[in-house]
Structure 1
């Protein structure tokens, strides 16, 4: 085995190691910062353009170029070319799993309002809002961010598909025993047993839900689509 072959073999080993490391880094980046409503392709594209995955691809490609230039045998050149491609396929494959992990860790199918350590009367208002949310069949995903207060609880919902938010709640609320008292096509309000629920779609997708006491004024949504 010539010294050149040994050098190329070392380069291929380094390239393989960097590619494996890049896939792991991409997975962790998407698990922490990924957009849960993205598809695998959208997540990969976003990771390559906004995250460290693009830099990793460039580094692996640079090593591959050196391998191509130095390789004395066709199979070595083919291997040098194949590693970046396999790396991209690996990133594509792990993206859904990473986004699913983020969804399970940070999002839920029902808005969560009750917070540990809350003092009265805010704690009572949170429990009241939670009781309202729990009685309704929701769509989308909810994280812990939003607005809590004695006036109610407001949460942002995100959707992976283009779904009519108001249309869903027009059917779900009466089915759960709620009475829709306001529906102007941009905002919906319903009441039941002294509780109120409101929902407003957002232009970029998803929407905002609010729940609290029915004694307050209509249109209790405050932050609306500006919250994340």
Structure 2
């Protein structure tokens, strides 16, 4: 191929590669904002996104385009650009990962557990209000998912938390400070009672789970047929 033709072909490939890199960064941002682990670091998010999301496929395609462009390049700046584009794409993904996780935290999590929802029928509505009063009386940690399990068996809500935080130790202090009496503490979960109401907390990988209900109920609705097989600690918080 004549030098001019190779130069034009390389320039076109580099332009396509730059466009693919920008698109890949935007796709990575959207993927992490929807599915990313908010408890992980930016580097962990990047590596997970490359392995589990469309980012890895985009990076592979871009490497092929950049390699062909490098082989066709006749000028030094083109060769440098062919090498720089994949590197800049990775740096861009790394930079937007914490922004995407921050967006997910803001849109999918709340700072306090919420049990009451509009339009709930009785007797579940009353049970939800009573559970909410329990949660409101205690100082919590972490960020809570908007959904969970609610009803006459109590209200269960999951929360995420960075590693290294002792969930049970926090509630060992917070519950007595709020007037609650800790009745169970076996190192795996903690249960407390107050005025006929009950509260339970259990650490989970990446966070934990809390439950509020009546003192005569089992925590997290355990033993109820409709909740058979339900995981207290799901694999993905």
**Is TM more than 0.5 here?**
yes
Listed one character per residue, the Cα deviations across residues 57-89 of structure 1 (whole Å, up to 9, x for unaligned) are: 011111100111000011110011000000000
SS in 2 for 1:116: coil
TM-score normalised according to structure 1 size: 0.92
Task: Tell me what 1:225 maps to.
Answer: 233
Residue 187 of structure 1: how far off its partner (Å): 2.1
> Where does residue 134 of structure 1 map in the other structure?
136
Change in Cα spacing, 1:159 to 1:81, as seen in structure 2 (3 Å) is same
The 2-side partners of 1:109 and 1:221 are apart by 24
- After superposition, the Cα gap between the structure-2 partners of 1:88 and 1:62, relative to the gap in structure 1 and judged at 3 Å, is same
Indicate which of 12, 15, 33 corresponds to 2:14: 12
Runs of 4+ in 1 over 4 A off after TM superposition: none
Does the Cα contact within 8 Å between 1:198 and 1:221 map onto a contact in 2?
Answer: no
Q: What is the Cα-based RMSD across aligned positions, in Å?
A: 1.8
Counterpart-to-counterpart distance in 2, 1:123 and 1:55: 47
Cα distance in 2 for residues equivalent to 1:72 and 1:163: 56
Deviation of residue 175 (structure 1)? Answer: 1.8
Consecutive unaligned residues in structure 2, runs of 5 or more: 223-230
Number of aligned residue pairs: 226
**How do 1:34-183 and structure 2 match up within 5 A?**
34-183=36-185
Worse overlay, 69-78 or 108-117 = 108-117
| Aligned residues of 2:199 and 2:211 also touching (Cα < 8 A) | yes
* Separation of aligned partners in 1, 2:19 and 2:217: 61
